[in-house]
Amino acid sequence: MGSSLSKEEVFSLLKKLSEGIGPSGNEGIIRELVIDEVRKVADELRIDTLGNVIAVKKGSRGSGKLMLAAHMDEIGLFVSHIDDRGFLRILPIGGIPERSLVYQRVVIKTRDGRVYRGVLGLKPPHVIKPEELRQIPEMKEFFVDVGASSREEVLNMGIRVGDIAVFDRELSPLIGDRVTGKAIDDRVGLAVMLKSFEIIESPELDVYAVATVQEEVGLKGAEVAAYSITPDVALALDVTVASDFPGVSEHEWCTQLGKGPAIKVADGRSASGLIAHPEVVKMLIKVAEESGIPYQVEVLAGGTTDASVIALNKEGVPAGVISIPSRYIHSPVEVVDLKDVLNAIKLTKAFAEKTTYEWVSSLKERRIK
């Protein structure tokens, strides 16, 4: 069943997910796509209060829980003000860097579901000082131009303060197996989770596939879902930095495109990051090598994933991460290699099928006396 999975099938799913509008706190469109994908293979399916989708595939053991987590949300923008001339001021949703915004097109979604296109405007180079050309504009300098001539015209369109915007970009093929688009962080992890969940066969543990909300603004959905599920072991499925491009020394590389999914050892520069459970790391490497799946080992300087809060749930959860290398993360032109995506699916499936209750039990609290 797993061997029949094609790059075309994966690209089609990733395109559908990537092009959906779903910044943090507004994941409804993506949530419906996820439900459509998992309802045919899940033994149980629910949406929790915060909006996480939780699908369950029952294991043969009748006890033990493996949680897979991939987040639905993307970075985006809030409309924060509408001026008299019809220009929209904006504030970020999640870690959206100003350098990614320069002269981009956006899609605005209103509260009643209407969708409009706009452009992120700035003063042109002809009317600014030469030194300003070398500076990255601040967020307060950006505005969105929807083509309107007045505030009244914008309001008649149904656009209000608090409405959302995301990059306007299709998922497009490059040469070979590489593709580019927006929201690959983390729609590619979501695609990996959905496809692996579909093809997992006869797991011993119950497998919980959780499409989480609000990861980009503080890992909030994963924290709530982990508390509800109380998993015995967990994997987050997310992107990591592929830094194999000009301007980065080889010794600074985190991962490379096309060399396989990455097995995370650690991430983050602060207490909010993750040091993956060493036994989970060992098991992932063992499974990859036994299954002939290419992999990379990842130590990431900054950023983290849902696994960080899952690991701290209740008395603690052994947690790891399968990462998909991606160039230009948090931009409208993220790039991944479909070979890495397929191998991430294979690794997730193999880990779920080879994880035993006895192994999970060996990781739990042990009373010494």
CATH number at residue 107: 2.40.30.40
What ranges in 20-136 are assigned the alpha helix state H? 28-38, 130-133
The CA distance from 71 to 191, in Å, is 10
Q: Are residues 24 and 152 both part of a single domain?
A: no
Q: Is residue 330 part of a domain?
A: yes
Per residue in 340-368, pLDDT (tens digit) is 999 999 999 999 999 999 999 999 888 88
Element (H, E) at 163: none
Same domain for 238 and 162? no
- Considering the domain boundaries, does residue 175 fall inside one? no
Q: Are 204 and 337 in a shared domain?
A: yes
In-domain check, residue 174: no
304-309-311 Cα angle (round to 5): 105
Print the domain residue range for 155: 76-167
Same domain, 153 and 187: no
Active site residues: 215
Domain assignment present for residue 173? The answer is: no
Task: Identify whether residues 347 and 238 lie together within a single domain.
Answer: yes
Is the pLDDT score of 250 beyond 90? Answer: no
pLDDT of 84-130, one tens digit each?
Answer: 999 999 999 999 999 999 999 999 999 999 999 999 998 777 777 77
Q: Are residues 308 and 344 in the same domain?
A: yes
Q: Quick one: 324 exposed, middle or buried, by C-beta within 10 A (0-12, 13-18, 19+)? A: buried
Evaluate whether residue 369 is within a structural domain. Answer: no
Does residue 88 share a domain with residue 151? yes
In a shared domain, residues 261 and 118: no
- Inside any domain, residue 335: yes
Question: Rounded to the nearest 5 degrees, what angle is found at the Cα of 344, between the Cα atoms of 331 and 311?
Answer: 80
Same-domain pairing of 81 and 140: yes
Its pTM stands at: 0.95
Identify the CATH number of the domain in which residue 307 sits. Answer: 3.40.630.10
Beta strands in the chain (DSSP E): 44-47, 53-57, 65-71, 76-82, 87-93, 105-109, 115-121, 143-145, 164-167, 172-173, 178-181, 206-212, 233-241, 262-266, 296-299, 319-326, 334-337
